[in-house]
Amino acid sequence: MRRARVELKFDNQSLLVPLFGEFDANLVQLENRIGVFISARGDTISVEGPEDSVARARDVLRTMYDKLAIGQDLDAGAIEALIAMADQPRLEGIVSDEPDAPPIMIRTRRKTIVPRTPMQASYMRQLTREDLIFALGPAGTGKTYVAVAQAVSQLISGSVQRLILSRPAVEAGEKLGFLPGDMKEKVDPYLRPLYDALYDCMPPEQVERRIASGEIEVAPIAFMRGRTLADAFVILDEAQNTTKEQMKMFLTRFGQNSRMVVCGDPRQVDLPGGDRMSGLADAVGRLENVEGIGVTRFTAADVVRHPIVGRIVEAYEGPNA
């Protein structure tokens, strides 16, 4: 697919705020649904991506502006309808761009994430297609970070109403009694990596506000019991440290209009008692070929931290491991 770009200039600057949406939510919705990258400077919008997608996004943006100019309101549903009606875009004015530009991206309030390895690109595509994704592999491959970025993007665009991040606390048995403080103080240290990813994708004040309102929830897996997680993007991190019973409980929380991502490293199981099977390995074995469920397997070649981390992973996973 040829890459392309186009620039759009809008004369009435008073319409730019409703055109972009709160926190650029309308632009993020177009990016996620059409597969383009949109940047704005002043009264000019630049759209980049595959040629047909750029043309489609341009046509939708022009129609959005025209509707605002005659006094019509725009919401996520109206924009979705415009996207659906732009299936056959006009290619006039589209300028071909470099052919090797990243084919997919995730835009959040603080940064735009592009794939850094072929497996990350495949993973990012799965995050937009599948209802349930298992992301397996060593630390440093972006399993959880990319999932959090996609979740934040969908929360901002209104595709989901809640973002729920979870992981086992301490061991799978969640033995927290010896730690000082109340329950939040006991579990927060084990959830810190999830908070870090959130703060990297959203301004801290927005994270705190959305946590206070319940739009974002960060909690141990034990807190998921008995719930139905509808209209939510749900991420389970360190899933290799769940038991089979915990994993079944978590997966069956799945609700309407939800997406679930389960991240873990099958080689780093810390379950108490060496004879206990990881709930992650058990779930992947049962569900890998089920429709609507995707599995991405990262290797040491996908580590995007310091190069020595990849070599360390290879040494620990080699024939003498």
pLDDT value at residue 273? 66
Amino acid making up residue 185: E
Which residue, among 61, 62, 134, 53, has the nearest Cα to 94 in the 3D structure? Answer: 53
Residue 133 and residue 295 in contact, taking contact as beta carbons nearer than 8 Å: yes
Tokens in use for 86?
């732009």
Q: Tell me where in the chain the CATH 3.40.50.300 domain(s) lie.
A: 106-317
Sequence-ordered list of residues with C-beta below 8 angstroms from that of 115, at least 6 positions apart, any chain: 102, 103, 104, 121, 123, 124
Tokens 């502006």 locate to 65
pLDDT tier for residue 186 given thresholds of 50, 70 and 90 = low
Question: What is the average pLDDT value for the chain, to the nearest integer?
Answer: 81
Sequence-ordered list of residues with C-beta below 8 angstroms from that of 56, at least 6 positions apart, any chain: 34, 83, 86, 87, 89
**For range 232-239, the mean pLDDT:** 94
Residue 182 has pLDDT above 60, yes or no: no
Which fold does the domain 106-317 belong to in CATH?
Rossmann fold (3.40.50)
**For range 246-274, the mean pLDDT:** 88
> What confidence tens digit (pLDDT) does each residue in 68-109 have?
998 888 888 888 878 877 765 554 444 444 444 444 678 777
> What confidence tens digit (pLDDT) does each residue in 267-314 have?
888 877 655 688 999 999 999 989 889 999 998 878 766 556 667 767
> What confidence tens digit (pLDDT) does each residue in 21-76 have?
888 889 988 988 888 888 887 778 888 888 888 888 998 999 899 989 988 888 88
Q: Which CATH class is domain 3-96?
A: alpha beta
pLDDT tier for residue 118 given thresholds of 50, 70 and 90 = confident
| pTM: predicted TM-score of the whole model, two decimal places | 0.64
pLDDT tier for residue 112 given thresholds of 50, 70 and 90 = confident
Tokens in use for 236?
């389970």
pLDDT value at residue 108? 78
High-pLDDT (> 70) share of the chain, %: 82
Q: Tell me where in the chain the CATH 3.30.1370.10 domain(s) lie.
A: 3-96
Which residue, among 163, 128, 147, 157, has the nearest Cα to 29 in the 3D structure? Answer: 157
Cα–Cα distance between 111 and 128 in angstroms, integer?
Answer: 18
